[in-house]
Amino acid sequence: MISLFNAGFGYGAEPILQDVSQEIAAGSFHFLTGPSGAGKTTFLKLCYLALRPQSGRLEVFGQDISRMTRDQVSNMRRKIGVVHQDCQFLDHLTVRENIALPLRVAGRNVEENMDNLVDLLNWVGMRHRADATPDQLSGGERQRLALARAVIMSPDMIIADEPTGNVDWDMAQRLLTLLIELNKMGKTILLATHDMGLIRAAKGQVPAKVLRLKNGQLQLAGASL
């Protein structure tokens, strides 16, 4: 699904990622770990096509992105749902409207997708908050809203950047459970986290692999869960 071949990226003269080679197979579950500043967010941005490698090669869904036009990249990104740690929403829209926003941007009929929208609200436990605005939500509710918005287009892959960093342990486990459920439905999951407790909590629930970034290098950390 995502393949990097000796990929590198840096800001100015400072290399962040160097000679990174990794395959994220369809239907897999990967944790991404590493110290602050190691380049986890940069690696994720490469994976969801917000950045292009400055060296090496990146293939997504079997296509080399260096040969893709801007419109082709934009269409490809619709296959990838992204959950950011610092969730950004349109505060004048309700929870329901924020979740439906990707449908509107893609030109889809929201009314025709209303059943899916209601099911999604139920799945993340937010139906009772459907008419609330983002500024009325707790941190955990905002993260569940972000997850719902990320999957409304039924992407093949979900990339989550520290989604549990600002929530308590119970909510972190709930978010992890939702991601594991998505993986069991066939979705590919790439989850960046600094919380080793969260990784241990996944043991026995999902055959996840742990990737570790350090000094610009990406390594498989230990055995699969």
pLDDT digits (tens, 9 = 90+) for 202-218: 988 999 999 999 999 99
Task: Look at residue 65 and tell me whether its pLDDT is greater than 90.
Answer: yes
Question: Is pLDDT above 60 for 112?
Answer: yes
Q: What share of the chain is helix, strand, coil (3-state, %, to 5)?
A: 35, 25, 35
Task: Say whether pLDDT at 225 is over 80.
Answer: no
**Do the beta carbons of residue 141 and residue 134 sit within 8 Å?**
no
Q: Can you give the pLDDT at residue 106?
A: 87
Q: Which residues of 50-60 are buried (b: 16+ CB within 10 A; e: fewer)?
A: ebebeebebbb
Rounded to 5°, angle at Cα 207 from 126 and 196 = 70
DSSP state of 164: T
The tens digit of pLDDT for each residue in 5-49 reads 999 999 887 889 999 999 999 999 999 999 988 999 999 999 999
User: Residue 150: how many CB atoms within 10 A of its CB?
Assistant: 23
- Give kind and range of the element (H or E) at residue 139: helix 139-151
CB atoms within 10 A of CB 174: 18
Count the neighbouring beta carbons within 10 Å of the beta carbon of residue 138: 12
Tens-place pLDDT, residues 120-150 = 999 999 999 999 999 999 999 999 999 999 9
- DSSP state letter for 112: G
- 222 pLDDT exceeds 80? no
pLDDT of residue 118: 93
Section 154-169 average pLDDT? 92
Taking CA atoms, 44 is separated from 49, 109, 111, 117, 167, in Å, by: 8, 30, 33, 27, 21
Site of tokens 């893709």 = 68
| Matching residue, tokens 């972190």 | 172
Quote the pLDDT of residue 98.
Answer: 95
Average pLDDT over the chain, rounded to whole? 92
What is the C-alpha to C-alpha distance for residues 177 and 140, in angstroms, rounded to an integer?
14
**Per-residue pLDDT at 54:** 94
pTM for this entry: 0.93
Q: What is the pLDDT of residue 166?
A: 82
Task: Tell me the domains of the chain and their CATH numbers.
Answer: 1-79+156-225 (3.40.50.300), 90-154 (no CATH)
